[in-house]
Amino acid sequence: MRILVTGCSGFLGSEIVRQLIDRGDEVVGLSRRETPDLVRLGMQHHRGDLADVDYVNRTIADVDVVIHTAAVAGVWGPWKHFYVNNVVATRNVLAACKSSGASQCIYTSSPSVTFAGGHQSGIDESAGYPDRWLCHYPHTKAIAEQEVLAADSVGGLRTVSLRPHLIWGDGDPHLLPRLLDRARSGRLRIIGDGENRIDTVHVTNAASAHVSAIGAIASSPESAAGRAYFIAQDEPVRCWEWISRLCQKFDAPPPTRHISYRAAYAIGATCEAVYKALRRREEPPMTRFVAAQLAKDHYFDITAAKERLGYRPTVSMEEGLDRLSRGEKTPV
């Protein structure tokens, strides 16, 4: 198949590209950054901005499937920045899919689209969107997700939305470096009682979920398409025990000092107000969203992904952690 991956230079997008190439697909990658390593593997690369309609239309022409992973993540920044990159860009991708005759659009969403600040303990996809948002990222991702799902079966296009949670693994440029930096600088605090449970997903598993979705939609479109799916390891862990294990593997001091959720949330609200008043662009040291994410349960029922997409995690938590400590590159 000829498959286009937006955000191919990202952590998840690059792993999806590698898995598609390994199974023999013709892959086109879109990103703002150069990707010489993926080009050497055989990917055709187009560099540009998904907010540019002409660029999107040109590059999505003549592809069978689009996997749309490109997005702006984060907990701080102006609304317009998130809206253009997460909503407008997705609208452009959907419009190009319809005009080009692509058969599938697989969208990378986030479990945070259902998060309002409370516990998410074993929830499934019946959980609705919240009435309030703690930052612009989940809000704009939720808008885009709803438009992706509304586009299913329009003009022959079939769509799904995948919600991988806390993607990690060797080569991770985001989650693990951030945690370790805070631990080494003494800025990492256990928020709440430290007993909250979370789901994560190894990057190999997150990518394979996207690849599995292609086959599921092709073989059983009425069962697989038009839905959102939580994607996880299927091995919930206690958040702060897991963080401590990561710290120990990389010779960083595990967090031992506590702060109550109420205090962390209040500090986050104050930081946000001050940074907004001063128009500061850098992320505050604490926000309401971060406080809630680090103190509340976030684990999910992934039965739908197993039954409808055929998703199965192939890299276990223990195997992934062992590979991290050995510094190995995870094979597909």
CA dihedral 232, 235, 237, 242 (to 10 degrees): -80
179-196 residue pLDDT tens: 999 999 988 999 999 999
C-alpha to C-alpha distance for 63 and 4, rounded to whole angstroms: 7
Write down the pLDDT at residue 175: 87
Interhelix angle 261-278/288-295, rounded to 10 degrees, is: 160
Q: Cβ distance 304 to 229 under 8 Å?
A: yes
Q: Would the pLDDT of 331 be above 70? A: no
Task: Please give the angle made by the CA atoms of 174, 170 and 66, to the nearest 5 degrees.
Answer: 70
CB 108 within 8 A of CB 71: yes
Helices (H), 61-202: 79-82, 89-100, 136-150, 175-184
Q: How far does CA 109 lie from the centroid of its chain?
A: 6
pLDDT at residue 332, rounded to an integer: 35
Instruction: List pLDDT tens digits, range 250-295.
Output: 899 999 999 999 999 999 999 999 999 999 999 999 999 999 999 9
Question: Is the pLDDT assigned to residue 330 strictly greater than 60?
Answer: no
pTM score of the predicted model: 0.94
pLDDT for position 171: 87
Sketch the domain layout of the chain as residue ranges: 2-168+199-233+298-314
**Distance, CA of 203 to CA of 167 (rounded, Å):** 6
Residue 226, by phi and psi: left (phi above 0), alpha (psi -120 to 50) or beta? left
Examine the pLDDT at 131 and tell me if it is beyond 50: yes
pLDDT, tens digit, 9 for 90 and up, residues 63-84 = 999 999 999 999 999 999 999 9
- What are 29's strand-pairing partners? 5, 45
* 129 among known catalytic residues: no
Mind listing the pLDDT tens digit for each residue in 18-64? 999 999 999 999 999 999 999 999 999 999 999 999 999 999 999 99
Provide the token pair at 55: 């660029």
On the question of pLDDT at 212 being above 90, the answer is yes
Give the whole-angstrom CA distance, residue 246 versus residue 207.
22
List the structure tokens of 253.
């001091």
Residues 6+ apart with CB under 8 A from 319: none
Catalytic residue among 83, 107, 129, 137: 137
What is the predicted pLDDT for the residue at 132? 93
Interval 117-138 mean pLDDT = 96
> What three-state secondary structure class fits 76?
coil
CA dist 42 → 49, 56, 64, 305 (Å): 22, 21, 18, 30
CATH superfamily of 2-168+199-233+298-314: NAD(P)-binding Rossmann-like Domain (3.40.50.720)
Q: Are 28 and 217 in contact (CB under 8 A)?
A: no
